[in-house]
Amino acid sequence: MRDHIYQYELLTPFTTEGSGTAQWCKARHGGETFFIKQFLSPTQPPAGADMSRPVNRAKRDACIAFFRARQRLYNALREANTGALVCPNSVDGLFVWEGHYCSVSRFITPDVPPEAICRLPERVRVILMRTLTLALAGLHRQGIVHSDLKPDNVMVTVNENRACNLKLIDFDGSFFADTPPSRTDELHGDLAYLAPEALRFLMEEPVRLTAAVDVFALGLVLHAMWCGRLPRFDGTRARSAGEACLLGLDVLPDPALPEDLRRLIARMLQADPARRPAMPQVYDALGRLLALYPYPG
Amino acid sequence: MSVYPGKFTGYDYDVDICLVIDRTGSMRPIIDTVKENALSLHRDITARMQAKGKTVTGLRVRVIWFGDYLADGPGAMVASDFLTLPEQNAALEQCVSGIRAEGGGDIPEDGLEALAFAIRSRWCQGTAKKRHIICLFTDAPAHALGFGAAAEGYPASAPKDFDELTDMWGFGQYPGEMDSYAKRLLLFAPDDGWWHRIRTEWENTILRPADPDGGLEDVGYAEMLDTIANSI
């Protein structure tokens, strides 16, 4: 195993676990741990390549397009960051190593694993849910759709004052709402959290994906943050909540949820993306929920 | 009322896997691994895919064994057709059980010719989502293309040089001979020479380096399956 990529000391071998389009590893530099992701495509033409060959020109053009698209995304993420986004730095967060582009962002491990968030005090849960919603609202204001929202991409850490912080990670599948994916291979969501229109897109139907896919996924994530599981649906007929919506089956929020939250999540999980609330409305609704859980004492 | 009355197949994949295996003596552990697991390959891949919420609707496997044309003659490369699993599990087992780890001549082998042969496989062309995976195992560097051209049985259709082989793999809108979006190349090979060039110059390629001293003994069946499953 190589031991360095530029200034980064590699801590683990590269793996493709959880990614069909990249391989990743952990690395260290300056006392901090980083997450390095190496994209499988595009590849640069090799040094001294014969640029009269079409394949080399195609590689060069694809690399320029990839670099510009990433720069646009990383710049917009910087503008969108409310403090809860862990994303590549727009200046040195993208470089080429051995022909492939690599992105670098801080490596975060959760102090509170996703399945344990539901055991935090109710008020803390609502604050974390609002923090996540505010982060997504910031993305949407910049025209960015996260598109791979799921509990594994929501990191809850605990600081020295025992206060919980929430960070949103993994923007490799993100796209701008004005240039949504046009091919199924460009959509990188987790099937369990994909909205029904995203599933139709995977079926190669002419669907234009919007920020509403994040609202649907957030509805599922909020449900899991509150009670530790996803809403119920007929698992013998559908393999995900999105598929259940497509099939016209009920997707039922848990009765243990507070009534206001249950109603909010039900609106977020509507099959018709146009009927789902926008992120600011979700944020406001969670604000009203927060009022039900005042500070102790 | 259902807003989507049809059968949803967005999770379904047709998967073709071409195992390209160096059959020279030092490769015995990998060859034995393939032999031991041929019958369970379908079950193991579908189980890993189901764990990811995806369904393998069609799985076909072909095996290409390669050595060194100058040393081994016309028998340097042996290939099966694609076998549909699990229906043809027994045929796959029969196909791999007859292979012995032997031959090879000098240290490098004719792996690039075998890779070209794999690229030109008759991959599935259905409308379902598909993944076309070449999984190549070798602990040896590769000869340059054409090194064994004087040998009897050397394929006339082999690419004349590395550029031509690179064109066969293609790139983006310059698609080569495989589906641009379906193709993946997984190399379990030394990270030097031609294999290193492929890793750094070809898209959708992953190399798990073989230890120059220890060969591929450390590459277990589980790692092979995980690498395949992660690529889908």
- A135-190 pLDDT tens trace: 999 999 999 999 999 999 999 999 988 899 999 999 989 999 999 999 888 888 88
Inter-chain CB proximity A43 and B200 less than 8 Å: yes
What's the confidence (pLDDT) of residue A89? 72
Mean pLDDT confidence for B136-165 = 94
Query: Per-residue pLDDT tens for A222-274?
Result: 999 999 999 999 999 998 999 999 999 999 999 999 999 999 999 999 999 99
CA A35 from chain centre, in angstroms, equals 15
Neighbouring C-beta atoms of residue B71, cutoff 10 Å:
16
Which is nearest to B138 in space by CA: B25, B223, B17, B15?
B25
CB contact at 8 A, A243 and B8 = yes
User: Residue A14 corresponds to which tokens in the numbers above?
Assistant: 């590269």
Write down the pTM of the prediction.
Answer: 0.88
Burial of residue A52, with CB atoms counted within 10 A of its CB: 0-12 exposed, 13-18 middle, 19 or more buried: exposed
Number of cross-chain residue pairs from A and B with Cβ atoms under 8 Å apart: 98
The fold of the A4-106 domain, in CATH, is Phosphorylase Kinase; domain 1 (3.30.200)
- Nearest residue on chain A to B3, judged by CA atoms? A246
d(CA A152, CA A113): 9
Instruction: Please state the three-class secondary structure of B140-187 as a single string.
Output: CCECCCCCCCCCCCCCCCCCCCHHHHHHHHCECCECCCCCCCCEEEEE
Banded pLDDT at B220 (limits 50, 70, 90): low
Assembly ipTM: 0.87
CA quadruple A264, A268, A269, A270: dihedral sign: positive
Sequence spans of domains, chain B: 12-230
Inter-chain CB proximity A199 and B8 less than 8 Å: yes
Q: Is A148 a catalytic residue?
A: yes
Interface residue A273 vs chain B (CB under 8 A): no
The catalytically annotated residue of A61, A148, A172, A178 is: A148
How many angstroms separate the most distant Cα atoms in chain B? 69
d(CA A195, CA A121): 29
Inter-chain CB proximity A53 and B202 less than 8 Å: no
Banded pLDDT at A19 (limits 50, 70, 90): confident
- Helices then strands, counting H and E runs in chain B, come out as 8, 7
What's the confidence (pLDDT) of residue B218? 56
Q: Is the pLDDT of residue B3 over 50?
A: no
B8 to chain A: which residues are within 8 Å by CB? 199, 203, 238, 243, 246-247
The rounded mean pLDDT for chain B is: 86
d(CA B148, CA B126): 37
The bridge status of strand A32-43 relative to strand A100-106 is: antiparallel
* Beta bridge pairs of residue B64: B20, B79
Banded pLDDT at B156 (limits 50, 70, 90): very high
Long-range contact set of residues A46-51: C-beta below 8 Å, sequence gap at least 24: A46/A99, A46/B197, A46/B200, A46/B201, A50/B163
The percentage of chain A sitting over the pLDDT mark of 90, rounded to a whole number, equals 79
Q: What distance in Å separates residue A271's CA from the closest CA in chain B?
A: 8
Q: Which segments of chain A belong to CATH 1.10.510.10?
A: 114-290
A114-290 belongs to which homologous superfamily? Answer: Transferase(Phosphotransferase) domain 1 (1.10.510.10)
d(CA B3, CA B52): 25
What's the confidence (pLDDT) of residue B51? 82
CB contact at 8 A, A51 and B160 = no
d(CA B9, CA A222): 27
Q: What distance in Å separates residue B51's CA from the closest CA in chain A?
A: 12
Interface residue A263 vs chain B (CB under 8 A): no
Interface residue A294 vs chain B (CB under 8 A): no
CB contact at 8 A, B27 and B67 = no
Q: What distance in Å separates residue A142's CA from the closest CA in chain B?
A: 29
Report CA dihedral (B169, B175, B181, B185) to the nearest 10 degrees: 0
CB contact at 8 A, B159 and B116 = yes
- Nearest residue on chain B to A40, judged by CA atoms? B204
Long-range contact set of residues B152-157: C-beta below 8 Å, sequence gap at least 24: B152/B73, B152/B74, B153/B69, B153/B73, B153/B74, B153/B75, B153/B76, B154/B69, B154/B113, B155/B77, B155/B113, B155/B117, B157/B116, B157/B120
- Nearest residue on chain B to A18, judged by CA atoms? B230
Count CA within 13 A, CB hemisphere, residue A50.
9
Query: Per-residue pLDDT tens for B96-119?
Result: 888 877 766 678 889 999 999 999
What's the confidence (pLDDT) of residue A294? 87
Please tell me chain B's helix, strand, coil percentages from 3-state DSSP, rounded to the nearest 5: 35, 25, 40
Which is nearest to A94 in space by CA: A72, A70, A65?
A70
Query: Per-residue pLDDT tens for B21-74?
Result: 998 878 888 888 888 888 888 999 999 888 877 788 899 999 999 999 998 888
Q: Is the pLDDT of residue A40 over 80?
A: yes
User: Residue B75 corresponds to which tokens in the numbers above?
Assistant: 């028998």
- Nearest residue on chain B to A97, judged by CA atoms? B200
The bridge status of strand B205-209 relative to strand B183-189 is: parallel
B12-230 belongs to which homologous superfamily? Answer: von Willebrand factor, type A domain (3.40.50.410)
Inter-chain CB proximity B10 and A183 less than 8 Å: no
Inter-chain CB proximity B8 and A55 less than 8 Å: no
CB contact at 8 A, B89 and B42 = yes
The closest CB to that of A183, out of B3, B52, B181, belongs to B181
What's the confidence (pLDDT) of residue A1? 59
* Beta bridge pairs of residue B207: B187
Inter-chain CB proximity A247 and B8 less than 8 Å: yes
Inter-chain CB proximity B3 and A41 less than 8 Å: no
Mean pLDDT confidence for B202-219 = 73
Cα–Cα distances (Å) from B30 to A39, B46, B148, B206, B216, in that order, read 28, 21, 25, 18, 7
User: Residue A279 corresponds to which tokens in the numbers above?
Assistant: 């992120």
Banded pLDDT at B173 (limits 50, 70, 90): confident
CB contact at 8 A, B21 and B34 = yes
Q: Which of residues 165-184 of A touch B (CB under 8 A)?
A: 183-184
- Interface probe with A: pick from B1, B15, B171, most Cβ of A within 10 Å: B171
Identify the contact set of chain B against chain A, taking CB-CB distances under 8 A: 1-4, 8-11, 52-54, 129, 163, 166-167, 170-174, 176, 181, 197, 199-206, 209, 226-227, 230-232
Interface residue A69 vs chain B (CB under 8 A): no
What's the confidence (pLDDT) of residue B1? 40
Which is nearest to A170 in space by CA: A90, A101, A107?
A107
Q: What distance in Å separates residue B151's CA from the closest CA in chain A?
A: 31
Q: Which residues contact A204 (CB under 8 A, 6 or more apart)?
A: A184
Q: Which segments of chain A belong to CATH 3.30.200?
A: 4-106
Cα–Cα distances (Å) from B210 to A93, B31, B198, in that order, read 30, 15, 15
Q: Which residues contact A93 (CB under 8 A, 6 or more apart)?
A: A74, A87, A103, A104, A105
The rounded mean pLDDT for chain A is: 93
Q: Is the pLDDT of residue B202 over 90?
A: yes
The closest CB to that of A248, out of B2, B170, B206, belongs to B2
